[in-house]
Amino acid sequence: MNEGFGEEGTSEGPFGHGWRPVVEVALGLAALGMLLACENLWASTILSVSRRYPGIDKVAHVVQYAGVFFAVWWLLGTAVPKPGPRAALAAALAMLLGTNDEVLQRFVADRRFDLTDLAANAVGIMLGLGLAPLVASAERAGTGRREAVRLPWRARK
């Protein structure tokens, strides 16, 4: 048996579940980051709506980043099954995605880096953190959506 590999010849990975969950999380985060960056394609529309309805962009950031938190939470489900560490890591990664999105806006016409947007992102993430225990208890009870939505390549137990 090779050192660092399980009995079936596969690596254990950092979470003890093999490398597949790590790769799934990395690919999911990359896709989520690209999706967030795509909103810059509608920069002029976002600017005109923000001018017409002052403050609506902050409300949108709160809602959007609560959703980003739960998307990251879902991605981490297999890799980090314990709710506490999963929520903390999901919050950190969601904030990293939000910071990345704000930094990218410096290079887009009609967009700019804004600390109040980052603060609104943080409020949305905190909203997600506040709701995370409810989601975790629903998952433990077997009524969570995580049980209903399975990736096609995941083996069923």
Please compute the mean of the pLDDT values over residues 38-49 and round it to a whole number: 83
pLDDT at 117: 92
The fraction of the chain above a pLDDT of 70, given in percent, is 78
**Contact predicate 87/95, CB 8 Å:** no
- How many angstroms separate the CA atoms of 143 and 139, rounded? 6
- Domain parsing of the chain, residue ranges: 20-148
What are 109-150's pLDDT values in tens digits?
A: 778 888 999 999 999 999 999 988 887 777 667 654 444 344
- Give the angle subtended at the CA of 20 by the CAs of 18 and 23, to the nearest 5°: 125
Tell me if the pTM is above 0.85.
no
